[in-house]
Amino acid sequence: MGRPAAPRGQRALRVGLTGGIGTGKSTVARLLAEHGAGVVDADAIAREVLAPGGEALAEATTAFGGGILAADGSLNRAVLAGRVFADPAARARLDAITLPRIAELAAYRLEAVPPGRVAVYDVPLLAESGIADLFDCVIVVEAPLEARLARLARRGMDEADALRRIAAQASDARRRCLADIVLPNDRGEQDLADAVTRMWEDRVEPALS
């Protein structure tokens, strides 16, 4: 795999962290934060962007109708997800509304991580967005389909919905083509934590010097 280093000037080492739904990417993000990385979460920014009172939610309501709203005026994420994961055109409309706003906020927060540190962008759609070249290093988290389905079931997602969402995302092969580091998550959480520690010590820390 590639070496996580590039000429950076006076900025943090930028790491793109991605993986399909249910692979354990968010767990890896938490572990990297425990090692001192500054983590920017694309999903959290997406929730901010679609918060009540914002332009993005107003545009989404115009595009998809008032049925995507809960009784209190907030976004009913389950309803919207059901619409966009079943309809590629609908997903493209939503992406056009949200992705530019998400990218702007993410860039601002990644720039805020001081030089000499590691800035991690936890982003599920890295491959789909074509942004891999923005990072000094891309980490891809992978897990077997059975493990992913089991994790999603524990979140309350039925298998048919989980399979639709997995199919709507980039394939493992497509993500792997962009990876500097592939991190398998096919064992227990302690094994994953040990793998992240090894990666941090052997691959990430040397790139800071």
Cα 38 to Cα 2, 18, 22, 115, 183: the distances in Å are 22, 15, 22, 11, 19
- Determine if residue 16 is labeled as part of a ligand binding site: no
> Do the annotations mark residue 129 as ligand-binding?
no
Residue 27 marked in a binding site: yes
Amino acid at 128: E
d(CA 180, CA 109) in angstroms, rounded, equals: 23
Q: Is position 25 annotated in a ligand binding site? A: yes
| Strand, coil or helix: 23 | coil
User: Which letter, b or e, does each residue of 10-26 get, where b requires 16 or more Cβ atoms within 10 Å of its Cβ?
Assistant: eebbbbbbbbbbbbbbb
CA distance 106 to 82: 26
The annotation places the binding site at 22-27
Which residues line the annotated binding site for ATP?
A: 22-27
